[in-house]
Amino acid sequence: MTVTTRFAPSPTGTLHVGNLRTALHNWMFAKANGGRFLLRIDDTDRARSEERHVESIRADLAWLGLVPDGEERQSARFDRYAARFADLVAAGRIYPAYETAQELELKRKVLLGRGLPPVYDRAALSLTDADRAKLEAEGIRPHWRFRLDHGAPLEWDDLIRGHQRFDPKTMSDPVIRRADGSWLYLFPSVVDDIDMGVTHVVRGEDHVSNTATQLQMFAALGAVPPAFAHEALLTGSEGKLSKRLGSLGVDHFRDAGIEPQALISLLARIGTSLSVEPHVDPAPLIAHFDFARFGRAPARFDETELAQLNARIIHQLGFDAVAARLPDGMTSGAWEAIRPNLATIAEAADWWQVVEGPIDPAELSGEDRAYLAQAAATAAAIDWSADPWHALTGALKEATGRKGKPLFLPLRLALTGRPHGPDMAALLPLIGRDRTLARLRG
């Protein structure tokens, strides 16, 4: 058996961080098992699906490095759904129902008012051919429901949640096709999973009850169902479900300077028993990916933790990996000097401006200005071919008796305009002799 997973977004909007996590875990599980990762565009909702969102989904996956091994679109498979639908209508597993939305809502309120679960009463099954003909003559078109078998319980061993059990008698027969002929999610998804050879369905825990009904659809269509893994949903850093997570997508992270490797490192591990560590190469994350390590508690997504991971990722990136995104003229040596001080790659431009100048002069006391004048004279006399920073500070320490902060801080302020930053031993050769003398002389 070739392990086959699928990510199945609807192109009615852009992907958010929860979607990205689902896509990542499907991709990682497939890769960990030498399998295939498929992209399925669930565009049965013609009114809300937009091609620009399809392109956005592809671009977002590419940014993360999640390359599908194949792509399908539900809008190209309507004939297939209709054929399997007809099979189940003939077998008596799908039936027409004629209640309006208002009538169904009234039934629901009555049941709730009696303290009963709002389960559909299957009134449509008692209609005769004459009843149905009369309703359709009146212009009432049916929606279609899948008839659940009320015999054995619906059970499966979830890869994350463990053994699951539902009583079909407590569940409504799900609507699978609207009166206008359009499809709802449940039935086409089952047909696709069968036809595409999907072996593992990885999705959020909000789909658990859908899985229970879909198990009978697989059986009705004569297919063995895939294995299921239902993941706990993401929560925000405040520790509860956050609507804000639904607005955090690739554009947000890219604009914030987040590297895809940082997002992968976080999303691969949160909600598991493994520690979150920065990985430039996802191979170790893939090698240790195991649903047995996932817990049922909500997974906490913290942007502060992501930012810290991002800095640690950047500190591992070589010059060749970032050269196209650095300021013109910035060399490998400059990147090595500046990199340990960066939280995002965009900040490299700020530090390159410090090197190239001009810089905003720092306010210094008269005593420190006299010290800098002495430093300028010393800098003009030292050997710049080896380690000019230590040569400069060593000579000044001996000549002035200064040490620690009084020795180093006025020099840093004069040379960079900032009290903190990259190691001056690495930065000073980049600034160079002429710029150093000019800045020390003010």
Return all residues near 104 (Cβ < 8 A) that are at least 6 apart.
Answer: 120
Per-residue confidence (pLDDT) for residue 246, from 0 to 100:
80
Question: Within this chain, do residues 102 and 225 fall inside the same structural domain, yes or no?
Answer: no
Question: Within this chain, do residues 410 and 338 fall inside the same structural domain, yes or no?
Answer: no
Is residue 194 in a domain? yes
What's 162's domain CATH number?
3.90.800.10
In single-letter form, the type of residue at position 10 comes to S
Structure-token pair, residue 43 = 């565009």
Strand partners for 95: 145
By DSSP bridging, strand 94-97 and strand 143-146 are antiparallel
Is residue 280 in a domain? no
Question: Within this chain, do residues 195 and 170 fall inside the same structural domain, yes or no?
Answer: no
What gap in Å lies between CA 208 and CA 225, rounded to an integer? 14
Question: Within this chain, do residues 123 and 149 fall inside the same structural domain, yes or no?
Answer: yes
Q: 93-124: per-residue pLDDT in tens? A: 999 999 999 999 999 999 999 999 999 999 99
Is residue 114 in a domain? yes
Is residue 138 in a domain? yes
Please tell me the pTM assigned to this model.
Answer: 0.91
Question: Within this chain, do residues 193 and 55 fall inside the same structural domain, yes or no?
Answer: yes
Is residue 310 in a domain? no
What gap in Å lies between CA 315 and CA 179, rounded to an integer? 57
Give yes or no for a contact between 262 and 317, defined as CB atoms under 8 angstroms apart.
no
Q: 378-436: per-residue pLDDT in tens? A: 999 999 999 999 999 999 999 999 999 999 999 999 999 999 999 999 999 999 999 99
What's 422's domain CATH number?
1.10.10.350
Neighbours of 267 (CB within 10 A): 25
Indicate the SS3 state at residue 176. strand
Question: Within this chain, do residues 167 and 96 fall inside the same structural domain, yes or no?
Answer: yes
Question: Within this chain, do residues 106 and 157 fall inside the same structural domain, yes or no?
Answer: yes
Q: How many domains in the chain?
A: 4
What's 31's domain CATH number?
3.40.50.620
What gap in Å lies between CA 189 and CA 174, rounded to an integer? 14
Domain boundary among 177, 212, 245: 177
Per-residue confidence (pLDDT) for residue 237, from 0 to 100:
74
Nearest of 67, 82, 69, 15 to residue 38 by alpha carbon: 69
Is residue 205 in a domain? yes
Is residue 282 in a domain? no
Question: Within this chain, do residues 349 and 378 fall inside the same structural domain, yes or no?
Answer: no
Per-residue confidence (pLDDT) for residue 240, from 0 to 100:
62
Q: 373-385: per-residue pLDDT in tens? A: 999 999 999 999 9
Question: Within this chain, do residues 73 and 94 fall inside the same structural domain, yes or no?
Answer: no
Residue with tokens 């010290």: 371
Q: With the C-alpha atoms ordered 286, 288, 289, 295, is the resulting torsion angle positive or negative?
A: negative
In which residue ranges of the chain is pLDDT below 50? none
243 is in an annotated binding site: yes
Question: Within this chain, do residues 73 and 142 fall inside the same structural domain, yes or no?
Answer: no
Range of the domain at 123: 88-177
Q: Where are the beta strands (DSSP E) in 86-233?
A: 94-97, 143-146, 154-158, 162-166, 175-177, 200-204, 227-231
Per-residue confidence (pLDDT) for residue 52, from 0 to 100:
96
Q: What is the largest CA-CA distance in the chain?
A: 110
Kindly report the average pLDDT of the chain as a whole number. Answer: 95
Per-residue confidence (pLDDT) for residue 243, from 0 to 100:
67
Question: Within this chain, do residues 229 and 96 fall inside the same structural domain, yes or no?
Answer: no
Give yes or no for a contact between 83 and 188, defined as CB atoms under 8 angstroms apart.
no
Question: Within this chain, do residues 59 and 112 fall inside the same structural domain, yes or no?
Answer: no
DSSP state for residue 247 in the 8-state scheme: G
Instruction: Tell me the CA distances in angstroms from 11 to 31, 54, 57, 76, 247, one per residue in order.
Output: 25, 5, 8, 14, 15
Is residue 247 in a domain? no
Per-residue confidence (pLDDT) for residue 239, from 0 to 100:
63
